[in-house]
Amino acid sequence: MPHRIPPLTTGHHLQLLQGSVEFFPALIEAIDSSETDVQMETYIFDFTGTGADVAYALERAARRGVEVHVVADGVGTPEGPGSWAHRLQQAGVQWRTFSPVGSVLGLLWPGQWRRLHRKLCVVDGNVGFCGGINILDDFHDPNHGTLEAPRFDFAVRVTGPLVTQMRETLQRQWQRLRITSELRHVHLTGALESLRTVGLRRKPARVRGAGRSRAALLLRDNLRNRSRIERAYLRAIGRARHEIVIANAYFVPGGKLRRALMQAAGRGVRVCLLLQGRYEYFMQYYAARPVFGALLRAGVEIHEYSPSFLHAKVAVVDGRWATVGSSNLDPLSLLLAREANVVVEDHVFATSLRQRLVDAMEQQGSRMQADDYEQRPAVQRAKEWLAMVVMRIALAFQGKKYL
List 37, 117, 303, 346, catalytic entry: 117
Burial (Cβ within 10 Å: 0-12, 13-18, ≥19) of residue 196: exposed
Strand partners, 140: 146
Contact 6, 100 (CB under 8 A): no
List 69, 119, 141, 153, catalytic entry: 119
Confirm whether 140 is a catalytic residue. no
DSSP assigned state of 247: E
DSSP assigned state of 349: H
Three-state SS at 156: strand
Confirm whether 311 is a catalytic residue. yes
Strand partners, 157: 15, 129
**Amino acid identity, residue 364?**
Q
**Amino acid identity, residue 249?**
A
Backbone angles phi, psi at 18, to 5 degrees: -105, 120
Integer Rg of the chain from CA: 21
Strand partners, 14: 158
Backbone angles phi, psi at 269, to 5 degrees: -80, 135
Closest by CA position to 309, among listed 144, 165, 183: 144
Contact 193, 187 (CB under 8 A): no
List 138, 153, 221, 318, catalytic entry: 318
Angle at CA 95, nearest 5°, toward 179 and 219?
Answer: 70
Beta-sheet strands, E only, within 238-335: 243-248, 270-276, 301-305, 313-317, 321-325
* CA gap 383, 375 in Å, rounded: 15
* CA gap 275, 248 in Å, rounded: 6
What b/e string do you get for 77-108 counting C-beta neighbours within 10 Å, with b at 16 or more? bbeebeebeeebeebbbebbbbbebeeeeeee
**Amino acid identity, residue 368?**
M
List 12, 13, 69, 311, catalytic entry: 311
List 37, 46, 73, 124, catalytic entry: 124
Enzyme catalytic residues: 117, 119, 124, 311, 313, 318
